[in-house]
Homo-oligomer: A and B are copies of this chain.
Amino acid sequence: MPLAKDVVKFGTFVVTNQVFHLTRLSFAVVNLKPLLPGHVLVSPRRVVPRFNDLSAAEVQDLFLTVQRVSRMVERVFNASSLNIAIQDGADAGQSVPHVHAHIIPRKKDDLEEKGGTDAIYEMMEGEEGDLNRQLRAKEKAAEADVAEDQTRGHFPAVDNDSRKPRSDEEMLKEAEWLAEEIAKDEQAQGSRTEDSQ
């Protein structure tokens, strides 16, 4: 069962099953095609394109959520560092016009074979990081009622980086797991739970 009671939208896309953390003004989702294990997104609940569109309350809630989520994913994915990045506007590489912070757990030499530490950014900016394209392909597949395991063949362009888009079930399972893990942190801290829904 999804964590969110209402429909949660990322841009025009319904991502309800991917939500693993909700606060009054922000939500966190797992990715259809994470660039590295534990790659997640945090967004304001209000669909606005630019960081400057956010109210002070939204900015504060968003980054307290980023901190809480980044602490958790670093722990559960056994990482040692994190990339936290916002592509704020199309000319900075933003593909879905809804403010979102990428959180990507990092380990020593985790992208050695892809060209080193900085390769994550090329991946984020390139086709394999094009969230809009991936989510659109997923929507089209659902509309056409294509069986999940047949989906790949229909969208070769999306898959030419050879990562398989994950099923709704797989994402929901990860979202439930991460929701449990973040609850552990909150219990351990004994605070901040007033933001949660």
A residues sitting closer than 8 Å to B (CB atoms) are: 51-52, 54, 56, 59-60, 62-64, 66-67, 70-71, 74, 79-94, 104, 106-108, 110, 116-118, 120-122, 124-126, 192
Q: Which residue from chain B places its CB closest to the CB of A55 in the assembled complex?
A: B67
Number of copies: 2
- Please give, as numbers and ranges, the residues of chain B lying within 8 Å of A120 by CB-CB distance: 121
Whether B92 pairs with A82 at a CB distance below 8 angstroms is yes
Residues of B within 8 A of A74 (CB): 52
Is B63 in contact with A91, judged by CB distance below 8 angstroms?
no
Closest B residue, CB atoms, query A93:
B117
Q: A52 touching B81 by the CB < 8 A rule?
A: no
Contact A51:B84 (CB < 8 A) given known A59-B64, A60-B63, A64-B60? yes
List 7 tightest A-B contacts by C-beta distance, closest first.
Answer: A81-B89, A121-B121, A118-B125, A81-B91, A81-B92, A82-B88, A84-B86
Task: Supply 25 A–B pairs (Cβ within 8 Å), ascending by A.
Answer: A51-B67, A51-B82, A52-B74, A56-B192, A59-B60, A60-B63, A60-B64, A62-B63, A63-B63, A70-B88, A80-B90, A81-B88, A81-B94, A83-B93, A84-B86, A84-B88, A91-B106, A92-B106, A92-B117, A116-B125, A117-B125, A118-B121, A118-B126, A121-B124, A122-B122
